[in-house]
Amino acid sequence: MELTPLKNFFNRLFGKWANSPNDQQYYVKMFFAIISALICGIGGQFFAGTRGVMLGFLIYILSLFVIRYLLDIPPEKLGGMQKMITNSLFSYLMLWVVIWTILYAFSIPPGIIDTL
């Protein structure tokens, strides 16, 4: 399978930070945190709980593949594979959880709140 269109897409989005691989990986992870939070938040009750957490972590793993294979950033430029995984992890988690929580709070039907 040819990944050239995907490579072009991600290089257009994040190519301006090509001189700084750490910045590039940070922005990729924040982009994917927003996407996962939107999916979890708009999904409402379906993603409320373990499904949402699993989706968030799967999308985080997807962001690592984008960094490594679509943007062609070798882990050595980031300080090794462990640094690639742990750098920006906390920022990803915080952004994802905050946006997800805000969206989820507005997706709860008013009738549920009355029964609490």
- Please list the ranges in the chain whose pLDDT falls under 70: 1-3, 112-113, 116
Say what the pTM is. Answer: 0.86
DSSP state, residue 19: T
Token digits of residue 90: 């906390």
**Which residue type sits at 104?**
Y
Tell me the pLDDT tens digit for each residue of 38-70. 998 888 778 888 999 999 999 999 999 999 999
User: What is the distance between the alpha carbons of residues 110 and 116, in angstroms, rounded to a whole number?
Assistant: 11
**Which residue type sits at 116?**
L
Q: Is the dihedral of CA 86, 88, 94, 98 positive or negative?
A: negative
